[in-house]
Amino acid sequence: MTTSMYYIKVVACSLLVLLAGCSTQPTVKDPDLPKNIPKSDPQQELKNTTAAEISEYKKAMLHLKNGKLEDAKAVLIEFIGNRPSLAGPWANLGLVYLKQNQLDKAEDAIKKALLLNPKQAHALCLLGFLESKKGNFLEAEKNYIKAIELKDNYPVAHYNLALLYDIYFQDIGKAVKHYSIYLKLTGNQDKKTADWLEHLKGTLKKG
């Protein structure tokens, strides 16, 4: 189980659950984002979102899924410029920056998402991953646990926490617990993780 495998899984799973908001195609790729978020009503902004905007936003998610990060980022930045009080687009932008390994920008976007919605489990999971990349494993653990407390059926949060216990904390018992939950939530479709879980269970028995 490698850290590169971990990275692929966390960004892919987070992508699928952060569909919110939309935009028209921007003319610039990466302008400076607003440092301060203007006060506005996120519920009203969401209600004002048009079908055409939602369609464009879904295209951004498809770009992200297909690895077209600059195209996805462009749409997200334009949307944030128009509706900065919605948390979802900030979290998705943080995801793009994570995949581009631009950690400072990723942290800024993810924390803005959490400022707007402190109970967004997906942003907490992304923040946990970011902290783990920076070597802040205790902070990563805290964020994964918060995400699970808010959404206990969130598979990727359980997987990320399991891997943290497995690789960095060497706490095999907790790793087994969260790998098991992850597999149950995903219908036991991840054979590599299932095989690894059996190996860990064998290690516990020997101990």
More confident residue, 94 or 14: 94
Residue 15 above 70 pLDDT?
A: no
Work out the widest C-alpha separation in the chain, in whole angstroms.
60
Q: Considering the chain, what percentage of its residues have pLDDT values greater than 70?
A: 76
Least confident of 79-83, 120-124, 126-130: 79-83
Per-residue 3-state assignment (H helix, E strand, C coil) for 123-168? HHHHHHHHHHHCCCHHHHHHHHHHHHHHCCCCHHHHHHHHHHHHHH
pLDDT band at 43 (very low <50, low <70, confident <90, very high): low
pLDDT at 167: 93
pLDDT at 44: 62
- Give yes or no for a contact between 56 and 22, defined as CB atoms under 8 angstroms apart: yes
pLDDT band at 41 (very low <50, low <70, confident <90, very high): low
What is the extent of the structural domain holding 172? 3-206
Residue with tokens 């006060």: 39
Mind listing the pLDDT tens digit for each residue in 50-106?
787 778 778 888 898 899 999 999 988 988 887 788 888 899 999 999 999 999 999
pLDDT at 146: 97
Work out the angle at residue 91's Cα, subtended by the Cα atoms of residues 15 and 73, and round it to the nearest 5 degrees. 75
- Give yes or no for a contact between 6 and 160, defined as CB atoms under 8 angstroms apart: yes
pLDDT at 57: 77
pLDDT at 33: 54
| Residue 31 CA, distance from chain mean position | 23
Q: Rounded distance, CA 207 to CA 197, Å?
A: 15
Write the single-letter amino acid at 79.
Answer: F
Residue 25 above 90 pLDDT?
A: no
pLDDT at 206: 77
Residue 158 above 50 pLDDT?
A: yes
pLDDT at 82: 76
Q: Considering the chain, what percentage of its residues have pLDDT values greater than 90?
A: 57
Q: In the chain, how many domains are there?
A: 1
pLDDT at 20: 35
- Give yes or no for a contact between 91 and 122, defined as CB atoms under 8 angstroms apart: yes
- Give yes or no for a contact between 191 and 168, defined as CB atoms under 8 angstroms apart: no
Residue with tokens 């943080």: 94
CATH of the domain at 153: 1.25.40.10
Query: Token pair for residue 163?
Result: 């891997």
pLDDT at 51: 80
